[in-house]
């Protein structure tokens, strides 16, 4: 598989898992539901909790994969920043 396509798939996975984790986290937050006046609505909290937990786990795994795929770039940028040459463009080595 092309490395750019793999990076794109990982990034889309990060976006989807992040949105699911945030949305279910907000729906599980009872204080927010009270403030918004949604106390009369019954949500399937067990299902939201499972989705929240799994999307969080997937998010952590995909962040690790993302860091591995972009490791060289991170090292190169870090070297430039700490050497004081951060104004020079950084080449992404793919």
* 17-35 tens-digit pLDDT: 999 999 999 888 877 777 8
> Over the stretch 41-70, which tens digit does the pLDDT of each residue have?
777 778 989 999 999 999 999 999 999 999
Between 87 and 12, residue with greater pLDDT: 12
What are the extents of the domains in the chain?
3-83
Sorted by sequence, the CB contacts under 8 Å of residue 66 that are 6+ apart come out as 7, 10, 11, 14
Q: How far apart, in Å, are the Cα atoms of 42 and each of 45, 48, 57, 74?
A: 8, 12, 26, 45
């Amino acid at each position: 598989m092309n490395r750019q396509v793999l990076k794109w798939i990982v990034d889309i996975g990060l976006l989807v898992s992040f949105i699911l984790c945030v949305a279910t986290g907000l729906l599980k937050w009872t204080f927010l539901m009270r403030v918004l006046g949604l106390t009369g609505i019954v949500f399937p909290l067990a299902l939201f909790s499972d989705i929240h937990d799994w999307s969080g786990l997937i998010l952590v795994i995909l962040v690790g994969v993302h860091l591995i795929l972009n490791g060289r770039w991170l090292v190169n940028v870090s070297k430039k920043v700490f050497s004081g040459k951060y104004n020079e463009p950084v080449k992404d080595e793919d």
